[in-house]
Structure 1
Amino acid sequence: MAAKLVTLPYFASVVLTCLLVVSVSAIPSKKINSLKLIKQVNSKGPYIGLLTVFPPEENAFLGTADFKPNPEHPFVNLSGRRYRVGTIYGKKVIYVRCGIGMVNAAAVTQQMLDLFDVAGIVHFGISGNINNSMSIGDVSIPKQFANTGLWNWLNPKGTVDPDDVAQLEVGKYNVPKGDGVNLLGKLSYSPEQLFSVSREPNDATTLFWAGVSQHWLKLASSLEGMELEKCVNSSLCLPQKPKLVVGLKGSTADIFVDNAAYRDFLYKAFGVSSADMESSAVVMTCLSNGIPVIVIRGMSDLAGGQSGENAMDTYGSLAALNTAKAVLKFISKLPGYNSR
């Protein structure tokens, strides 16, 4: 019996070594190469993280030619995405296109913060305009975002949780009005749970409005009045000169809003001025990690408030260009992050 006890530690160490070898060998060689490259990239950090959503926004951003790829390590491919390393006006940046929706946005934001030496994130893209005082082509830098896709969908006789933020009674939109009971009932909007490095592990707090970083928002206020593009091309121009506004509110959900009634509800219930599908997820992830974040969104359409077809296909490229211009201007004003 004593002899068996003596050999047990040796046996355990052999098993552990085998497990480690197996686990390391299970990592794909491409990922190992990417992690080695990330280590080299991080040695030159910290960087500003730049995060946009889909190709038209990326084309507008890269088309300005102000992003200069790093000649030694121009990009890192990871999890099917390309993280581009470079500079803008001498500021070190890492740029990535995350893909549409809140899952993509949150996953890429967390991946960027976990793997790269990123000290803050600038998220940008186009959005639907919910506020009639704003116009297509305008740029909004909101102070806070709400996840307006976190619903309790109740039956017609259901009662709303008193902790919920607002409710949408589908029956109010019956045509003709008051024509029977609408079986879709009503929706109530719930707050989210925020886990944060500033709190104890697993000690979540609830919030509905996720705020961007105040010191970056104050810096962004100096962008108001900047020159924005008015024309898509020589034959297609907006009737008014676009403007940049700082300090409004935005909504995010995995819903493309192109409905006048819902647009009107969002504005009346929450006072939001824009609707998109990623911003709240990016802001929430940065808040969880205690990292500065700001969001810059260009108005590409009226989210259903228009007469006729949605204008995104017509003015989306202009909105993306004006957004890119605002992003570049903001980066130029950020202190630090200078290349060396």
Structure 2
Amino acid sequence: MATLDHILRPLPLLFIIFVISSLHVLPASATSSDKLKTATTIRKVNRKGPYVGLVTVIETEEDAFLASVEFRPDPNHPFIDLSGRRFRIGKIHGKKVMYVRCGRGMVNAAAATQQMIDVFDVKGIVHFGIAGNINNSMSIGDVSIPNQITNAGLWDWLNPDKAEGSDNEAYLDIGNYNVPQSDGNNNMLGSLRYGHEQLYSVNGHISSPQNVFWINTTQEWLHLAADLEKMELLQCVNASLCLPEKPKLVVGLKAATANIFVDNAVYRDFLYDTFEVSSSDMESSAVAMTCVSNGYPVIVIRGLSDLAGAQTGTNAIRKFGSLAAANTARAVLEFIKKLPSNYNVNS
């Protein structure tokens, strides 16, 4: 009979710690034998690796992705369930892929990405989903593949009489937006001071994080994605609901992430004018920073589903979210197709 030591000896140390510690905190319904079975399955799945990791966010994006006939589930191990998430295993264009829906927000995004990197044999992460459009030269239905992403939700809310310093990226003086405009003294909300992330990295010194405002996606993968700008994207949700112009794909813009759904025209303009970002979402920075921290390649592919507050009337995400997700899924499939042949793994 297999012992715990016999089963886990070939696995990475971090995963051994993960499994053993989990045995002490599981509810009564999750037995030790269940965890050992899962560990054995993970070991078998990893023997078939490496995989391209795929991380998306919500059901709309997942539905568009899984509806693609290009995704072929693994016949023996189509999925593994961990921490309430389903990690799906399969192939796209002959490349082995590992897919998970992380859930909304930066904590979910970082947690799912780190878990995928720690537990499974992945060589890089393709993160995809929908986003708000911040750039007037872009349109709903377009797809953006950014080269830089910032956490635009990392800021200090200042006391109104606190002087501005010089070591931060930007300020948002709320008093400037009073109607009618005043000198700001009558608005006690004060201002927001945007700060830096602390990036702990395998390439840095231990316990000495680097202060960064922008996280760069992987240049090699961006070069591969450049040819996608010529690809065809969907223009219609159905026969009666179409966009006025054919959508386009653009590589090399900037993106903003925060735990904030942006649906405000003035704040939208501030983000563009200050940081020159073209899209806003709630996960991309967290995925990218987790990958960079661990030394893994990462690319972000986001379809624009709405105007982030610049629209007349209600937000368009309910009307065009599915179309943006479908165009994003198309771009993901084409990107995987362009990955070099060394991402082909024999069964």
Pairwise same-fold verdict (TM > 0.5):
yes
| Residue 232 (structure 2) pairs with residue 227 (structure 1) | yes
Instruction: Give the superposition deviation at 1:162.
Output: 2.0
Change (3 A) 1:286 1:61: same
CA contact (8 A) 2:56 2:128 kept: yes
For residues 259 and 94 of structure 2, the distance between their equivalents in structure 1, rounded to whole angstroms, comes to 36
What is the aligned partner in structure 2 of residue 247 from structure 1?
252
Matched residue type, 2:181: K
What is the aligned partner in structure 2 of residue 199 from structure 1?
204
Q: 1:298 aligns with which of 303, 316, 327?
A: 303
After the TM superposition, which of the residue ranges 170-179 and 261-270 deviates more from structure 2? Answer: 170-179
After the TM superposition, which of the residue ranges 191-200 and 49-58 deviates more from structure 2? Answer: 191-200
Q: 1:158 aligns with which of 157, 162, 170?
A: 162
CA contact (8 A) 1:167 1:186 kept: yes
Instruction: Give the superposition deviation at 1:158.
Output: 1.2
| Residue 88 (structure 2) pairs with residue 84 (structure 1) | yes
CA offsets 1:30-52 (integer angstroms, 9 cap, x no match): 33322221111000110000000
Matched residue type, 2:55: L
Matched residue type, 1:163: D
Instruction: Give the superposition deviation at 1:320.
Output: 0.2
CA contact (8 A) 2:51 2:121 kept: yes
| Residue 174 (structure 2) pairs with residue 174 (structure 1) | no
Q: How does 1:58-73 map to 2 (within 5 A)?
A: 58-73=62-77
| Residue 141 (structure 2) pairs with residue 137 (structure 1) | yes
What is the aligned partner in structure 2 of residue 337 from structure 1?
343
- Secondary structure in 2 aligned to 1:56? helix
CA contact (8 A) 2:134 2:278 kept: yes
For residues 70 and 163 of structure 2, the distance between their equivalents in structure 1, rounded to whole angstroms, comes to 54
What is the aligned partner in structure 1 of residue 59 from structure 2?
55
CA offsets 1:180-208 (integer angstroms, 9 cap, x no match): 52110000000110000011211211100
Instruction: Give the superposition deviation at 1:177.
Output: 1.1
CA contact (8 A) 1:147 1:208 kept: yes
For residues 260 and 174 of structure 2, the distance between their equivalents in structure 1, rounded to whole angstroms, comes to 17
Matched residue type, 1:323: T
What is the aligned partner in structure 1 of residue 6 from structure 2?
none
TM-score w.r.t. length of structure 2: 0.90
| Root-mean-square deviation over aligned CA pairs | 1.3
Instruction: Give the superposition deviation at 1:54.
Output: 0.3
Matched residue type, 1:252: T
CA contact (8 A) 1:31 1:78 kept: no
Change (3 A) 1:113 1:174: same
Instruction: Give the superposition deviation at 1:24.
Output: 8.1
Change (3 A) 1:24 1:172: closer
| Residue 323 (structure 2) pairs with residue 314 (structure 1) | no
Q: Where do 5+ consecutive residues of structure 2 fail to align?
A: 1-19
Q: 2:124 aligns with which of 120, 123, 129?
A: 120
CA contact (8 A) 1:87 1:339 kept: no
CA offsets 1:158-183 (integer angstroms, 9 cap, x no match): 12332110000000111111175211
- Secondary structure in 1 aligned to 2:271? helix
TM-score w.r.t. length of structure 1: 0.92
- Secondary structure in 1 aligned to 2:343? coil
CA contact (8 A) 2:23 2:35 kept: no
Matched residue type, 1:311: A
Instruction: Give the superposition deviation at 1:66.
Output: 1.2
For residues 185 and 239 of structure 1, the distance between their equivalents in structure 2, rounded to whole angstroms, comes to 41
**Equivalent residue pairs, number:** 319
CA contact (8 A) 1:156 1:181 kept: no
For residues 97 and 215 of structure 1, the distance between their equivalents in structure 2, rounded to whole angstroms, comes to 25
Matched residue type, 2:100: V
After the TM superposition, which of the residue ranges 320-329 and 26-35 deviates more from structure 2? Answer: 26-35
For residues 326 and 291 of structure 2, the distance between their equivalents in structure 1, rounded to whole angstroms, comes to 25
